[in-house]
Amino acid sequence: MKFFFPDSQDLIDPSFDFECERRSTTRKRQRDDLYAHEVFASTPFDGFLVSKGIVDGYGALGSRYTLAQRHRLLRLGAPEFFRLDQAPRKLSIMGDCGAFTYVKEEVPPYSVEEVLDFYGNCQFDYGLSLDHVILLFKPEADARGAARDLVPEELRERRELTLRLAEEFLKRHTKGGYAFEPVGVAQGWSPLSYANSVKALQKMGFRSIALGGMVPLKSNEIISCLEAIHEIKQAGIQLHLLGITRTEHLKTFARLGITSFDSTSPLRQAFKDDKDNYYTAARNYTAIRIPQVEGNPALQRKVSSGAVSQDLARKLEKACLEVMKLFDEGRRTVDQALAVLMEYERFYDPGSKKNHEAAYRQTLTDAPWRKCPCDVCRDLRYHVVLFRGAERNRRRGFHNIWTFYQQLEKELGLGQGSAA
């Protein structure tokens, strides 16, 4: 089973000085910053998933790429743009449309021809057909005699549109002689509707099929859909789960025919989750928040309004950074470090119900970064568990991806680079 890491231009700056909090004055992001596959000795994924919606941007969701980066991607192609020759092993690139970026539109904002050209120009290995997400799960609609109005007509039309677009995609792909492998996208609102979509895509001639729209579903709901699909799936068909991780169900997914999946969860949890920020094989830990006085909007507003003293804020912030350094050197105890950290938290977030004392005590007591063999933790040490700025947070996300991939291989009983 292969894991594709969705690209959102998440890079780290190797010149960043964590003690002085400064970058090199000569640093150029695209040239000098590093992708995750350039950081680790063993790459913690099997390929990238690159979304047209992320590259181009759509509506209120702006592009994660600059105009210059978009032009460079199309001019050089994805393998050179992502510097895949720097990866320890061969990585594949899958392209999709980014249907969640235009989910509120009546129809996709792209044409099939535009999508094909995007995939072809970027030199992807796989390309997903143009689709339209269905955000509804109504398994009761599968019951014999169920009322048709259980599923709004517009969502039924989305499924039919997705299938028509897939058929056009495959025909134009064949006629145009594109090098990438075409992947048909199945949408649905129930186990039977997903199975019917897969059945239709198989009949069209697709040998690879991606299952979309399942991100909001509970694990048992996903499994019920996969079981229905498994009953009609032809031998040799490759199935990809879009946006799904669910580590505890990987063996079940594999048994039901899933051969690949993608997810940003390990990266995003590093700085989006309130408690599960740092992964280990045994458990997840809460990262220690030390907000930057100049970089925290809420704290800056309090300083600007005169509600808190900027000088005191800086003093407490500096004390937290110093105590974490001394703790890591063995010159401060857990209780001593915790006292300083909580004084700053009570200052910048008074009256909050999100008291992190117990979670921080667990993180400090176990000090998981000292035991982690990944390249990030060995290089960054205690900085990896500091919830502070993009450079630390993103590196913690890279650590999470590495840890997740180790769990994936252990769960499936595979060796590095053989998750296929």
Looking at the structure, tell me whether residues 226 and 243 fall in a common domain.
Answer: yes
**Model confidence at 416: pLDDT above 60:** no
Classified as helix, coil or strand, 146 is coil
Segment 254-270, tens digit of pLDDT: 999 999 999 999 999 99
Counting every residue, how long is the chain? 420
The dihedral region occupied by 137, where left means phi > 0, alpha psi between -120 and 50, and beta the remainder, is beta
E strand or H helix at 300? helix 297-305
Residue 408, in any domain of the structure: no
Looking at the structure, tell me whether residues 173 and 322 fall in a common domain.
Answer: no
Average pLDDT over every residue of 285-314: 88
CB 38 within 8 A of CB 87: yes
pLDDT at 148: 93
Active-site residue, from 96, 125, 131, 328: 96
- 262 catalytically annotated: yes
Residue 412, in any domain of the structure: no
Looking at the structure, tell me whether residues 95 and 232 fall in a common domain.
Answer: yes
State which of 212, 229, 263 marks the end of a domain.
Answer: 263
Residue 407, in any domain of the structure: no
Residue linked to tokens 């697709």: 206
Residue 156, in any domain of the structure: yes
Looking at the structure, tell me whether residues 18 and 96 fall in a common domain.
Answer: yes
Segment 59-100, tens digit of pLDDT: 767 788 999 999 999 999 999 999 998 888 899 999 999 999
Looking at the structure, tell me whether residues 194 and 305 fall in a common domain.
Answer: no
Cα 6 off chain centre by:
5
Looking at the structure, tell me whether residues 234 and 367 fall in a common domain.
Answer: no
**Model confidence at 418: pLDDT above 60:** no
pLDDT at 417: 45
Residue 96, in any domain of the structure: yes
pTM: 0.93
**Model confidence at 415: pLDDT above 80:** no
Two structure tokens written together for 266: 């390990």
Looking at the structure, tell me whether residues 288 and 257 fall in a common domain.
Answer: no
Average pLDDT over every residue of 369-394: 97
CB 29 within 8 A of CB 73: no
More confident residue, 237 or 301: 237
Segment 159-205, tens digit of pLDDT: 999 999 999 999 999 999 999 999 999 999 999 999 999 999 999 99
pLDDT at 168: 98
- Pick from 112, 210, 199, 192: nearest CA to 156: 192
pLDDT at 298: 79
Q: Which of 260-264, 365-369, 412-416 has the lowest mean pLDDT?
A: 412-416
Burial of 40 (0-12, 13-18, 19+ CB in 10 A): buried
Residue 22, in any domain of the structure: yes
Looking at the structure, tell me whether residues 247 and 370 fall in a common domain.
Answer: no
Cα 51 off chain centre by:
12
Looking at the structure, tell me whether residues 219 and 283 fall in a common domain.
Answer: no
Which residues are registered as beta bridge partners of 126?
94, 181
Residue 256, in any domain of the structure: yes
Containing structural domain, residue 102: 2-263
Looking at the structure, tell me whether residues 68 and 217 fall in a common domain.
Answer: yes
Name residues whose C-beta falls within 8 Å of residue 137's C-beta, 6 or more positions apart in sequence: 189, 190, 216, 217, 221
Which residues are registered as beta bridge partners of 387?
289
Looking at the structure, tell me whether residues 238 and 387 fall in a common domain.
Answer: no
Looking at the structure, tell me whether residues 67 and 216 fall in a common domain.
Answer: yes
- The CA distance from 410 to 282, in Å, is 13
pLDDT at 351: 75
> What CATH number is given to the structural domain containing 109?
3.20.20.105
DSSP character string of 33-92: -B-GGGT-SS-SSSEEEEEHHHHH-BTTB--SS-HHHHHHHHHH-HHHHTTGGGSSS--E
State which of 263, 280, 313 marks the end of a domain.
Answer: 263
Q: How confident is the model at residue 285 (pLDDT cuts 50, 70, 90)?
A: very high
**Model confidence at 420: pLDDT above 60:** no
Average pLDDT over every residue of 305-327: 93
pLDDT at 414: 59
Active-site residue, from 10, 46, 131, 262: 262
- 7 catalytically annotated: no
Residue 228, in any domain of the structure: yes
Domain count, the chain: 2
Average pLDDT over every residue of 148-161: 96
- The CA distance from 318 to 96, in Å, is 45
